[in-house]
Amino acid sequence: MQLETYISDLLYRYDCVTVPEFGAFLTQRTSAKIHESTDTFYPPKKALSFNEQLQQNDGLLANYIAEVEKIPYTTAINKISKHIKSIKSYLVEGETIQFKNIGELVLNADGKIQFNPSNQINYLTDAFGLSHFKSVDVNREIYLENVESIEVNSPIILTPEKRANRNWMKYAAAAVFLLGFGGFGAVTYYNNNSIENHNQLAQEQANEQLDAKVQEATFVISNPLPAATLSLEKQSGNYHIVAGAFRVEANSDKKVSQLRSKGYKARKIGANRYGLHEVVYGSYATRAEAQDELYKIRREHNRDAWLLIKALK
């Protein structure tokens, strides 16, 4: 029985997962941090802890196991109890119990369970895809601009302008004016008649073209085509199986195409609070339906897929 797998699934959505007759795994949200000495940035996360005093069965874990394995609730309780007895016997013998993606459990000198949490997985769904990174020191080079003021005193030499005798241009201009004025009247008379004839011809051609267009556009469809009806399937539900979250939207589009080629009804559900574009295998109306599909996807396609409970707008 992979008890740690079921506990890990529930830690994404709940702050407390109680294992009957053993203890409770607790999560507490912590803000993003910066390690000053190493210049390392850590994203927000759910910090894990263990409380041995909380052993009362609240039904959460047993119900989840019953839904996933499709067994009665009482059978799930018995399987948990049997598995816990085996774990306790190993602890008494001094062995360390490793819960994958959760942490290590061992008995201390006082006979109490000591828990060492694992940092392999961040159970805060809002921070999915974010990891810690180290900032590289930035060495800035400062360039000093040397401004040199240079004053140039150079003599200004004035050269007197030599004017040519332009009296002949006056007579040439007068002759051109007389010839132009005489021809202006003849040109004006010719242009007026030519423009009037041209305008009348253009008007007649425009009317003929308009009549031709009207004749071509006047027709009746005797047998119209039937209207096309498109049937689009819209996914609904608050239970979504997440395939991944991407900072670059083009990568999320590529992921959707890949999943659809495999037969999944994949789609994008928008960006989370950190700007990551989330892609889901599909959305489901009930938790039981989503859990069944999640179990199948993890077994056949993606072990890192997880369930997101969110009401989309």
Q: Other C-beta atoms within 10 Å of 132: how many?
A: 15
What is the value of pTM for the model shown? 0.42
Least confident of 38-47, 154-163, 251-260, 285-294: 154-163
CA distance 26 to 28: 7
> Do the beta carbons of residue 276 and residue 246 sit within 8 Å?
yes
Q: Tell me: the pLDDT tens digits for 21-76?
A: 999 999 887 766 666 566 566 566 778 899 998 888 888 899 889 988 999 999 99
Tell me the backbone φ, ψ of residue 136, rounded to 5 degrees. -85, 135
Of 97 and 190, the structure prediction assigns the larger pLDDT to: 97
Is a pLDDT exceeding 70 seen at residue 129? Answer: no
Burial 146-168 (b: 16+ CB within 10 A, else e): eeeeeeeeeeeeeeeeeeeeeee
CA distance 312 to 128: 18
User: What is the residue type of 259?
Assistant: L
* Domains of the chain as residue ranges with CATH: 3-120 (4.10.520), 239-309 (3.30.70.1070)
User: What is the residue type of 171?
Assistant: Y
Residues in the chain: 313
Mean pLDDT of the residues in the chain? 75
CA distance 311 to 87: 38
Q: Tell me: the pLDDT tens digits for 217-267?
A: 444 445 555 555 544 455 678 899 989 888 889 999 999 999 999 999 999
- Torsion 54-97-31-14 (CA) sign: negative
